[in-house]
Structure 1
């Protein structure tokens, strides 16, 4: 299937705007309240609301800069600690989610970072009632291997996302929700690798194998 890069970029921008709308909207509300409020205690609450919105916006911008954009400059690899910090911060936003890590590498190619971050996005969103997300990243010597398991009371994972990961969604049917899955598929295929996914009522498993020596411009 041939992918229109302009359409995919448009969809990724739509996803970015959708996810930033909530924290930016919270900041707008805080400013409106602050303009009309004279009570010191209430003004302090408004300032706290603004600070919270600013932190959320900054977190999401940093996350999406790496997940969707061409961040990292000319560095071929990025520190895993930086990626872990972003995922931990995203998981901590408004959900009772515990994150556990098993890391066998200290850095990752930008293509692997993109796959890991976009997988993390789906794993965290799959736990609307909270749960545990376990990340494992290893280097087998010939490939980087990524495995993620989300466990919770109810798994929210759209079947169309799985279809997009498998390359079964026609170009004209992609949307802002399934576009990150298409990005994962394209980046993995560009590395000469592939992705896997499986879901039960209480768990979602996502995985990717990205062979060495097939780096793409991510």
Structure 2
């Protein structure tokens, strides 16, 4: 496989497409709920529409807050991010009726690329359990360098075939599209943070490790 490099404009456009994909569904549901309130006289239907709007507004807000930390600048160059803030947005984005998030991490300030990497690893973790399950996060810190272990468990757990190549910057297809931009971006962040990422599958469990490269350990 040959490593590829995206033009900065293409990278920005693909990341924007990813964020829009995440928020379009709840925003569309809000619009639908408002239309029902405008036209519907039945109180039970109006109540249903109001519940839909509330739920979708919370979901859209959670997804935007997550995207701000996972993909955005999150402060000036060299800024640090509170892992407590990362936990908050992660829970809002991930935890639902199908997936449970367990967070085993001290509340510390870490360089922003390390925190952005952790959040992006959680997105990959979610993709390994397409039918839902559990996501267990463990963070250890030594000399301002974090090491991350994310373990997922669920029925039909898997490592999506394209993810390892995208993480390495060498996709099998030789190209990156909006569907693959998130794991590709995760690889960029990992290299910028000085961390190596590996994924292993064992039965109904996937383990994702992010550890300092030997020269940075």
TM-score by structure 2 length? Answer: 0.88
Distance in 2 separating the partners of 1:134 and 1:8: 30
**Aligned residue pairs: how many?**
212
Tell me whether 1:66 sits opposite 2:79 in the alignment. no
The CA deviation at 1:73 is 4.6
Counterpart of 2:188 (choices 186, 189, 214) is: 186
How far did 1:67 drift?
0.7
In 1, Cα distance between equivalents of 2:188 and 2:212: 12
Cα distance in structure 1, aligned partners of 2:30 and 2:207: 35
Query: For the residues of structure 2 that align with 1:65 and 1:50, how far apart are their CA atoms?
Result: 22
- Where do residues 24-173 of structure 1 align in structure 2 (5 Å cutoff)? 24-73=27-76, 76-93=79-96, 95-141=97-143, 143-169=145-171, 173=175
Q: Return 55-64 or 66-75, whichever deviates more.
A: 66-75
Shift of 1:104: 3.8
Give the Cα–Cα distance (whole angstroms) in 1 for the partners of residues 163 and 125 of structure 2: 12
Report SS of the residue matched to 1:168. Answer: coil
The alignment partner of 1:78 has SS state of strand
* Contact in 2 for aligned 1:11/1:179 (Cα 8 Å): yes
- Where do residues 2-17 of structure 1 align in structure 2 (5 Å cutoff)? 2-17=5-20
1:201: how far off?
A: 4.3
Secondary structure of 2:162 counterpart: helix
Deviation at 1:42, TM superposition (A): 1.9
CA gap of 1:170–1:124, structure 2 versus 1, over 3 A, is closer
Q: How has the CA–CA distance of structure 1 residues 11 and 200 changed in structure 2, closer, same or farther, with 3 Å as cutoff?
A: farther
1:173 is paired with a residue whose SS is coil
State the 1:90 CA deviation: 1.5
Q: Decide whether the 8 Å contact of 2:162 with 2:172 is kept in 1.
A: no
Which secondary structure state, in structure 1, belongs to the residue aligned with residue 179 of structure 2? coil
Once the 2 structures are TM-superposed, how far is the Cα of residue 130 of structure 1 from its aligned partner?
Answer: 2.1
Deviates more, 1:171-180 or 1:20-29: 171-180
Q: CA deviation at 1:72?
A: 3.2
Does the C-alpha gap of structure 1 residues 156 and 79 become closer, same or farther in structure 2, counting only changes over 3 Å?
Answer: same
